Each structure stands twice: as C-alpha cells, then as structure tokens.
Amino acid sequence: MEFTSQTSADGVVQRLFTTGDIPGALWSPADATDDRPLILLGHGGGQHRLFPGVVGRARWYVNGGGFAVAAIDLPGHGERPKTDQDVEFIARFRDRVAQGLPVSDELAEFHADLAARAVPEWQSTLDALWTVDGVAAGGPVGYAGVSMGTAVGVPLVAAEPRITAAVFGLNGGGQLPELAARITIPIEFVLQWDDEMIAREDVLALYDAFASKEKSLHVNPGRHTEMPLYEVESSLRFFARHLI
Amino acid sequence: MEFTSQTSADGVVQRLFTTGDIPGALWSPADATDDRPLILLGHGGGQHRLFPGVVGRARWYVNGGGFAVAAIDLPGHGERPKTDQDVEFIARFRDRVAQGLPVSDELAEFHADLAARAVPEWQSTLDALWTVDGVAAGGPVGYAGVSMGTAVGVPLVAAEPRITAAVFGLNGGGQLPELAARITIPIEFVLQWDDEMIAREDVLALYDAFASKEKSLHVNPGRHTEMPLYEVESSLRFFARHLI
C-alpha cells in the first residue's frame, strides 16, 4: 500500500493510495490522535472513489462520527481500465434505458460478475487499511454502498466476518437474496418507492432475505437517484450505534 | 380547560388537565421560559394518556427536542367510560385473537367509529392547548400515533390543517387510504415486518396512499408491539426537522 497524496479541508484529511493496481482514498479527522473505527464506502455504477456523492458521504461520516472512511475504484470504474465486456455492457445498458426496456436482468448479471472480481480486492484493501496509522486495526468495520455498492457489498459482507454493520439498498434480484440469507449483522436498507431501474418487489425481497435480527428498511418516494440526504444522516447514526 | 395536578421529574413537568369530560396530560421542559412547538400523542388500543409507552415517548420529545407534548384519553380508554358497544367489541376481539382468527376487518370498523368520536375531541383539545402558557399558539403542531393512534390520527390530520408533520404506522385498510390521499404534510411511517394483527399489504398500501412529497417508511422485523426504540429517536429527529 502506497500513499500518493494528502490534502486537508474543513477538518478532514484525504489521503489517496494504491494497493497493487487498485486506487483508493482514505478520509479521517484532521485532529485525530487515536485510531478510529473504519467505514468502507462502495460507489455506485458509473461512479468512482472520488465521485462527489462518495466524498460527501465520507466527509459526513468523518465530521459527524469521527470515523475513518475508505473507498476504492471498482474494476472498470474511475482510474481503472474497462474490459471489452464492460464497454459492451455499458453500450447495451444505455440502449435499453433509452428504449425504455427493463434492465434488471442485465444489471444483475453484470453486477454478479463485477462482485466476483471486487470482493477479493476489498478484502486485500481491508488487510492493508488495518496497517494504517489512525485506522483501528481489529476494530469494528462498517460498509455502506447502495445500488451497485449493494451488488458488491452483499457478497463482500457474506464472505467477510470483519464487517460488523452495513448500509445497503436500491438493489435486489439475481444472486443477492441467497447471499443475504447468510448475513446476520445489523443492516440499514434503503428503497426508493418509485425506482425506475430495480423492481420494488426485488428490493423488498432482498430486505426480507437478510437473516439479521436488526434490519431496518427506509423507504422514500422518488426515483433511483433521488434518495433524500437525511438517509445519509440516518446511516451515520446507525454506524454510531454499532461501531463506536 | 382545567389543570388538576402538576408534578416534575428529571427536567420534565407533567400537568394533568380536563377539557370538558376529556382527561389530558401536558409535558414540557421544566426550565422552559418561552413557548414550545406542540406534539400531540395518540395512544394505542387498550392504552391511555398515562400509559408507560406514551409517557416515555413524551419525555423523550421534551428532553430531546424541548417540545411541549400532550395526550388525551380517547373514548372508552383510560379514565373514560366504555359504551356497551366498546365492551362487546373488546370481548369479540379477544375471542378472535385467542382463536387465531383474523381481526383486521373488526379493527377497521371499530377504529373508524372511534375516530369519528375522537377527531372533534382532539380539535377542541388543540384549541384549549393553544391558550396554555408554554405552548406556541399558532405555531407548528406535530402528531404521533401508531396502530389505533394512526386510525384516529389519519382522519384527524386530514381534517386539521394546524397539524404540519405526523408520525404514523402499524395500521392500514378500512377508510384510511382514502383519507391519506388528502394528506400532504411530511410523514414518518413505521411498519413491523412480522405484524400479526395488520396485514403487511394494507400497511404498505396506506404508506403508498399519502399524497405527501416527503414520506419515509421505516420497516423493522418483529411483531406488532416490537417496534425498536430507535424509531422513537428517529421520530424525534423528524419532528426537529419539521417543527423547529
């Protein structure tokens, strides 16, 4: 793991790093003198580790809860090269959206393939993050990621006992319910009532599938990308309850 | 309106009152020197204004948000006499529960009748509360009531423009969706995923029916009475967003 840059703004230090060929970012409180519980952020489709919504959520968790927060560019996203298959999928996906055709089967297949590549990457990133000063090695770890961040996060959490609380949502179907049935950690789960991309029944079925004793589903009106900001605030309190 | 007792504990003043033959209770911060936004609490079936869950929620809102909070005994509850019809309903309801028979139709009918009596009582109580020192007359008003508190609260809010934010849940069916379609204020709505008393589809349909632009549905596992305490905390933040 190699740190390539460090900047600081409004109480938050942002350190960019690479682990092998995976570019990452780590945010932490500028005034921290001790190790902090870690939250991993999974970005959405077409996004990357420095996407405004990712950085905004990271800063929220650092400033509001004193957490250390990390994100990586997933395969084919951000600074990482796209495979021919990625390019083909994106073209087909955009075509279907433009034609108003359903995309959930295509998405589920693409996401399952992406997750198979991304889960080991997240695991080795977590290994590396636990060696970093300011990150509480061996401590509780949270994961937050909706949409594609859930498609990767559910297999990750199913495989990774170090993650002890997770925020998911805006996804369902495919392999996810079967994997969710193995997950017992506390879950906060968001659903957009008028989601045009993922069928409501699939999202409800995924919530239903988690074996967790504590799992809250938060539904709000609006389309896939219109989740209200107060859900980010709510997820911070969820992590504060479970990680601190 | 007549105050009949005043006690104080842990920063909260509790004043009991009557308006006509309606017994009420008003909680407010012991150290308040100004008028506070008001939250009305609707108790559940078989409960009353001094039921532990009602008093606990009231104290939470007073201590956590500095609100004034009021509750009344609904017809046939607490200190108020039961009609022959009430007694008959309760016996029939308990019978059906004991036999494992569905109760939602019986409940919807009983609740609609109760709401017709209770809505004007809440309205005259609100008139009276707005004359009380420490309550912000003309200010924003919240309503929180689940289960039977929603059966009464939805018709109340549909009829009462002074209420500007409401917490509902654990109910649905009967006349409620039609009334909810007239409601546009912000709503926080709770559903217990394993509710044995009210059909899940009815509760989801009631959430769906509200015409509110901001409406959040919070689902948790467990039976009708097993709502987690963090939903009370969440409702406090909801009221803080909308009433302060």
Q: Do B150 and B126 contact (CB within 8 A), yes or no?
A: no
pLDDT of residue A104: 86
Q: What does the alpha-carbon distance between residue A98 and residue A81 come to, in Å, rounded to a whole number?
A: 25
Pick from A207, A220, A241: CB nearest B216: A220
**A216–B contact, CB cutoff 8 A:** yes
Q: Dihedrals φ, ψ of A7, to 5°?
A: -130, 165
Q: What does the alpha-carbon distance between residue A134 and residue A123 come to, in Å, rounded to a whole number?
A: 19
Q: Do A62 and A38 contact (CB within 8 A), yes or no?
A: no
Q: Once rounded to an integer, what is the mean pLDDT over residues A8-37?
A: 96
Q: Which residue of A has its CA nearest to B208?
A: A193
Task: Extract the tokens encoding A30.
Answer: 């500028």
pLDDT of residue B218: 98
Provide the sign of the torsion angle of the four alpha carbons B164, B25, B12, B133, taken in this order.
positive
Question: What is the predicted ipTM?
Answer: 0.88
Angstrom CA distances, B182 to A31, A37, B12, B112, B201, stand at 50, 46, 35, 17, 20
pLDDT of residue A240: 97
pLDDT of residue A84: 94
Instruction: Identify the H or E element spanning A71.
Output: strand A68-72
Task: Extract the tokens encoding A36.
Answer: 């902090």
Closest listed residue to residue A16, CA positions, set A33, A3, A31: A3
A66 confidence band (pLDDT: 50, 70, 90): very high
Q: Is B168 helix (H, G, I), strand (E, B) or coil?
A: strand
**Does residue B153 surpass a pLDDT of 90?**
yes
Q: Which residues of chain B are within 8 Å of residue A220 when distances are taken between CB atoms?
A: 214-217
Task: Extract the tokens encoding A59.
Answer: 């800063």
CB-based contact A228 B215, cutoff 8 Å: no
Amino acid at site A172 = G
Alpha carbons within 13 angstroms on the beta-carbon side of residue B5 total: 7
Q: Dihedrals φ, ψ of A220, to 5°?
A: -135, 155
Residue B36 is given by DSSP the state B
Q: Which residues of chain A are within 8 Å of residue B206 when distances are taken between CB atoms?
A: none
Q: What residue has token string 């809860």?
A: A65
**B217–A contact, CB cutoff 8 A:** yes
Three-class secondary structure assignment of B218-243: EEECCCCCCCCCHHHHHHHHHHHHHH
Q: Which residues of chain A are within 8 Å of residue B230 when distances are taken between CB atoms?
A: 216, 241
**Does residue A26 surpass a pLDDT of 90?**
yes
CB-based contact B219 A207, cutoff 8 Å: yes
CB-based contact A219 B219, cutoff 8 Å: yes
**B207–A contact, CB cutoff 8 A:** yes
**B1–A contact, CB cutoff 8 A:** no
B104 confidence band (pLDDT: 50, 70, 90): confident
CB-based contact A218 B216, cutoff 8 Å: yes
Q: What does the alpha-carbon distance between residue B78 and residue B164 come to, in Å, rounded to a whole number?
A: 27
**B52–A contact, CB cutoff 8 A:** no
How close, in Å, is residue B212 to chain A by CA atoms? 9
- In sequence order, the β-bridge partners of residue A8 are A13
Q: Which residue of B has its CA nearest to A210?
A: B221
Q: Once rounded to an integer, what is the mean pLDDT over residues B21-43?
A: 97
Angstrom CA distances, B30 to A25, B219, B244, stand at 48, 34, 19
* % of chain B surpassing 70 pLDDT: 100
- pLDDT tens column, A124-168: 999 999 999 999 999 999 999 999 999 999 999 999 999 999 999
pLDDT of residue B112: 96
Q: Which residue of A has its CA nearest to B226?
A: A214
B131 confidence band (pLDDT: 50, 70, 90): very high
* The pairing of beta strand B12-19 with beta strand B2-9: antiparallel
* % of chain A surpassing 90 pLDDT: 97
Pick from A214, A219, A237: CB nearest B216: A219
**B64–A contact, CB cutoff 8 A:** no
Amino acid at site B23 = P
Q: What does the alpha-carbon distance between residue A140 and residue A203 come to, in Å, rounded to a whole number?
A: 27
Length of chain A: 244
Q: Which residues of chain A are within 8 Å of residue B217 when distances are taken between CB atoms?
A: 193, 217-220
**A219–B contact, CB cutoff 8 A:** yes
Q: Which residues of chain B are within 8 Å of residue A193 when distances are taken between CB atoms?
A: 208, 217
Task: Extract the tokens encoding A228.
Answer: 């209200």
Closest listed residue to residue B162, CA positions, set B116, B125, B190, B189: B125
CB-based contact B219 A220, cutoff 8 Å: no
| Model pTM score | 0.92
- pLDDT tens column, A195-207: 999 999 999 999 9
CB-based contact A234 B230, cutoff 8 Å: no
Q: Dihedrals φ, ψ of B16, to 5°?
A: -90, 145
- pLDDT tens column, A224-237: 999 999 999 999 99
Q: Which residue of B has its CA nearest to A215?
A: B220
Residues 167-206 of B with CB under 8 A from A: 193
Q: Which residues of chain A are within 8 Å of residue B233 when distances are taken between CB atoms?
A: 237
Q: Once rounded to an integer, what is the mean pLDDT over residues A61-71?
A: 98
CB-based contact B213 A221, cutoff 8 Å: yes
Q: Dihedrals φ, ψ of A216, to 5°?
A: -115, 135
**B228–A contact, CB cutoff 8 A:** yes
Tell me what the pLDDT averaged over chain A comes to. 96
Residue A114 Cα to chain centre, angstroms: 13
How close, in Å, is residue A184 to chain B by CA atoms? 13
